[in-house]
Structure 1
């Protein structure tokens, strides 16, 4: 049996406690959209429908926002990185940029830095796949392999930035480091503005449940803040999905304090394999997420098969293991007997319209190919 776990987080109203400067950044819901639209290579990514899979799983409509071709980098993370890099390059004397990554964020920072003619250094965990390292190097960055996991790479990047006077563009926040992650989070509003245009502010079709995958939580926090604050939409249920073996947000919610996962962090969902959540994201997620869900690697494998080898009539979507995690969370919820209470709480049924996001292209071709052959 595939391992799962869930927490229902009944909402009493959305009121995260955010510093004034962070609120100023996060409450500007159009700045990043205007910036990205000004770039010559900007294209809105498609919202596609898996009608056959929707019918198979007993719902009305299943929509996928497909980020696999975003700016040619194949991942959603480019939106946050470009917006943050541009802001600080315009407003500070930036001689170099540094970050840590499980893959997509680092490539995005490298891409954005190259566009500005700024050198970049990217730290990666010791277990990072060669293909992900090469993709970052192809964007012009120097890659340094950390001595440990993602959290260790973040610490090493922060130290390097201080020593070399580089700008740290990190998507996880801690007590004295909030502004940069806030700009990264705000960068994701471009995607949400696109979805709002594609669905008439999430009403046509009326979106009932969104499954969002999480690493440190920056992108899910953008989804929450955009819906709850900008659109004042409280009816859409939002489910935060994490790997079972890398459950830092789930554990932080369960313990009611920022917590590092105690599990193995062995998962094929490398882009979500983070040990400690972003403090900024956690404050928003605890206020605006309706349920926290843990999924196994088996659930991710099932999802990439439905996307990369779709049912008859459904479109082909190029998705990696982390990119497919939102769909994996949905499939686990409707197919797992142990998640029946969660399915009922979310009121998923024959009239439901579900939204998931394919957040990345295939980033480890050898791994994905082997999984698709299983």
Structure 2
């Protein structure tokens, strides 16, 4: 299902929105987190899929691979940790807590009585638990009935206390808020609600660091290298962080934004239909666990409503097929380790590119350069293997083999013209006698 957004704008970035999220803060978030030992140094890779692009009749497909961002395996490591870092600095304004010292645990004594809590489908809670452990504060994570034991274990491994509730993600959000109010704890959530926007803003601002890294080599005056950016939905936080950066940087020259959701967790599609933050129309439960959200974040919607051009839904089956396509290196491209939510962008692209009418509506064509963000790797390894038929190590081994063979091929290709030039130069210096046959 494709929902065009009639309220999407093409113009300068809204000044009021810029006061909330902006490029300067995205860069500052990136700088602060660079001190954390759980973040891998350097940029995450951007994979090119030229063979798949040809199959789908688009010019280029680029995949930003967030599975390598951290041992935690997802982009969420950019959100909860920076929000917690800024929260602590606001909470103790008289202290000279530097990001480097906080992330190294040098103020754990000061923070031992500080408790943070959040609901999660897995990745956000894992990132918050890891950050809390590094900084030395206590962490409580609320999990709903559909979060697997496999996703619970890594959260508990970072020392978080687990609270289980019946129901879905939205029920766990309500329980986290109740426990926080009852115990004087601090909610660190990626979704906003009335009176609670500062921390979700910081979470979303952290996600914008992905684009800051991605566009770093580009000159400020250069045109946007992408015509289309397909982003995962959920409550809207990732999409809002990414959209805000592109919009501020390129203004009217921004790319077309498409947001994808599970069919049964379509709160953003329903928001686009109604023109306001809305609830999902389905059961919410989805194999795309990170996107199984039933209610739009009002703060995120302030950025999405004026900027996202289209909202689209995909089925669980389509997401799994996209996972398999990435894992196998469909059509001869590099294999990519992408989890259930991570592959949703490719699932959406296949739906759109496969329909002449949807291609026309979204402007996809032979010159389109599509950016996808693979937001997670195999964060639930057993589920990943069951869904794709591949283990995470086997995909990474295939990726390494593909890269090695490509490097060898590139060296051969580089050498071939040199060999031809050398032979030509040698022939050019021969005299008739030297070149004559002795037979």
Same fold (TM over 0.5): yes
1:26–1:204: structure 2 CA closer, same or farther, 3 Å change rule?
A: closer
List, as ranges, runs of 4+ consecutive aligned residues in structure 1 with deviation greater than 6 Å.
Answer: 15-20
Contact 2:235 2:291 in 1 (8 A): yes
Show the 5 A alignment for 1:125-140.
Answer: 125-140=144-159
Q: Could you say what secondary structure the match of 2:230 adopts?
A: strand
- Seen in structure 2, the aligned counterparts of structure 1 residues 50 and 17 have a Cα distance that, compared at 3 Å, is closer
Partners of 1:157 and 1:144 in 2: CA distance: 9
Q: Which has the higher helix share?
A: 2
Aligned residue for 1:263?
A: 282
**How far did 1:203 drift?**
5.5
Cα RMSD for the two superposed structures: 2.3
Q: How much has 1:205 moved relative to structure 2?
A: 7.7
2:192/2:299 contact within 8 Å kept: yes
Q: Given the superposition, is the C-alpha separation of residues 224 and 205 from structure 1 closer, same or farther in structure 2, using an over 3 Å criterion?
A: closer
Find the counterpart in structure 1 of residue 398 from structure 2. none
TM-score (norm 1): 0.91
The 3-state SS of whatever aligns with 1:52 is helix
Q: Are the structure 2 counterparts of residues 280 and 18 from structure 1 closer, same or farther at C-alpha, using a change threshold of 3 Å? A: farther
**Counterpart of 2:70 in 1: which secondary structure?**
helix
Quote the residue 2:384 is aligned against: 368
The answer (yes or no) to whether the contact 2:12–2:252 under 8 Å persists in 1 is: no
- Counterpart pick for 2:358 among 310, 330, 342: 342
CA shift for structure 1 position 232: 2.4
Shift of 1:200: 5.2
The verdict on how the C-alpha distance between 1:296 and 1:126 changes in structure 2, with shifts beyond 3 A counting, is same
Contact kept? 2:47, 2:334, Cα under 8 Å: yes
Residue deviations 1:188-214 (CA, integer Å, cap 9, x gap):
121110111255569588211010011
Separation of aligned partners in 1, 2:173 and 2:15: 23
Aligned match of 1:355:
371
Q: 1:234-253 to 2 correspondence within 5 Å?
A: 234-253=253-272
Match of 1:260, SS state, is coil
The answer to whether structure 1 residue 324 and structure 2 residue 343 are counterparts is yes
Does 78-87 or 36-45 show the bigger shift?
A: 36-45
Q: Name the residue aligned to 1:39.
A: 36
Q: Report whether the alignment pairs 1:161 with 2:196.
A: no
Query: Which is bigger in relative contact order (C-alpha 8 A, separation at least 6)?
Result: 1
Tell me, yes or no, if the aligned pair for 1:16 and 1:284 is still in contact at 8 Å: no
- 5 Å-filtered alignment, 1:204-223, equals 206-223=225-242
C-alpha spacing 1:143/1:105, structure 2 compared with 1 (3 Å): same
User: Do 1:76 and 1:360's aligned partners in 2 also have CA atoms closer than 8 Å?
Assistant: yes
Identify which of 118, 122, 125 aligns with 2:141: 122
CA contact (8 A) 1:304 1:321 kept: yes
Shift of 1:249: 0.8
**TM-score, with length taken from structure 2:** 0.78
Q: CA deviation at 1:359?
A: 0.1
Deviation at residue 304 of structure 1 after TM alignment: 0.3
Structure 1 counterpart of 2:19, from 17, 23, 36:
23
Taking the aligned partners of 1:349 and 1:97, their CA distance within structure 2 comes to: 47
SS in 2 for 1:239: strand
Unaligned 5+ runs, structure 1:
none
Per-residue deviation at 1:18? 8.9
- Structure 1: how far apart are the matches of 2:221 and 2:58? 17
* Counterparts of 2:8 and 2:295, CA distance in 1: 24
- Aligned to 2:8, which of 7, 11, 22? 11
Match of 1:141 among 146, 151, 160: 160
Match of 1:63 in 2: 62
Cα deviation 1:77-110 (Å, max 9, x = unaligned): 1101111011112221560110001111111111
- Out of 254-263 and 197-206, give the one that drifted further: 197-206
Q: What is the correspondence of 1:279-290 to structure 2 with a 5 Å cutoff?
A: 279-290=298-309
1:171 matched to 2:190: yes
Counterpart Cα distance in 2 of 1:361 and 1:17 = 34
Secondary structure of the structure 1 residue equivalent to 2:348: helix
Larger Rg: 2
- Does structure 1 conserve the Cα–Cα contact (< 8 Å) formed by 2:12 and 2:247? no
Shift of 1:311: 2.4
Runs of 5+ in structure 2 lacking a partner? 93-110, 391-439
